[in-house]
Amino acid sequence: MKLKFLGTGTSQGVPVIGCQCRVCTSENPKDSRFRASVMITNNDQKILVDCGPDFRQQMLINEEEKVDAVLITHEHNDHVIGLDDMRPLIFRYGRDIPIYCSKRVGDEITARFPYAFAEVKYPGAPSFELFEIENKPFTIGNTEITPVEVSHYKIKIFGYKFKNLVYITDASYISKAEKEKLKNLDCLILNCIRKTEPHPAHFILPEVIELFNELKPKKLYLTHLSHHFGTYSTEENKLPENIHLAFDGLEIDF
């Protein structure tokens, strides 16, 4: 099983439109970040986690040609608005794409893409099958998945655990009960929007380091990074041992 980072940026992406900071003008490809998304590969099965506005480019750049199912963490646009671009896959497969998410998220997807769920669809419309999940383990094919409920400001969203790896994005708080799922992991992937200034909806670096010391994963990767964090070449070497900056295209075997 492996995880590939298709995107590691915030909702604005990096570079940010019109910004001339040293990150946004960097020539290092590791400083260019699509909106946050990962692809889980389990043998021949492909599970996409979140489908934002960069989905089409992410698939083309990474030479990915298949999605068997989509897991959605939450309903914000940078995590769902690319679903319409799944049409070429839907047409090729000749079937609905299954989407796994909470009821609240499913209701939002239905409201934003009503044409995908119409009884009589116009030619060329996408089509999805929604599967409602709760905070308990489930399977997609032969892949076992455990949701991890976290808080993103005032809403509850899901991270996901695959084997001994957990992927969490857009979190600002994790309860004691949910932390039990995160202890002694081989790999924890966690959002970290910037280094110092507190954010109401996202972890910042001191909070992530505190969690790393508490949960003790073997490795921790930072994702959902903004241009305020700094350049990859400058900041990667400043991090504590076994904490790393993720970047678009990075693959992790687990």
Q: What is the pLDDT of residues 189-244, one digit of tens each?
A: 999 999 999 999 999 999 999 999 999 999 999 999 999 999 999 999 999 999 99
Q: Is 51 helix (H, G, I), strand (E, B) or coil?
A: coil
For residue 236, give Cα distances in angstroms to 4, 26, 221, 222, 241.
19, 15, 11, 10, 10
Q: Which DSSP letter does residue 30 get? A: G
Q: How far apart are CA 9 and CA 19, in angstroms?
A: 15
Question: What percent of the chain is modeled with pLDDT above 70?
Answer: 100
Residue whose C-alpha is closest to residue 52's, from 62, 40, 73, 37: 37
Do residues 71 and 50 touch, judged by C-beta distance below 8 A?
yes
In the predicted structure, residue 66 carries a pLDDT above the cut 90: yes
What the chain holds in terms of domains, given with CATH numbers, is: 2-253 (3.60.15.10)
Distance between CA atoms of residues 236 and 94, nearest Å: 44
Question: How much is the mean pLDDT over the chain?
Answer: 97
Instruction: Give pLDDT tens digits for 67-79.
Output: 999 999 999 999 9
64/58 Cα distance (integer angstroms): 8
- With bands split at pLDDT 50, 70 and 90, how would you rate the model's confidence at 121? confident
CA distance 154 to 133: 20
Residue from 166, 130, 129 nearest 145 by CA: 166
User: Considering only CA atoms, which of 158, 163, 162, 132 is closest in space to residue 147?
Assistant: 158
> Cβ distance 167 to 3 under 8 Å?
yes
Helix (H) or strand (E) holding 161: strand 155-162
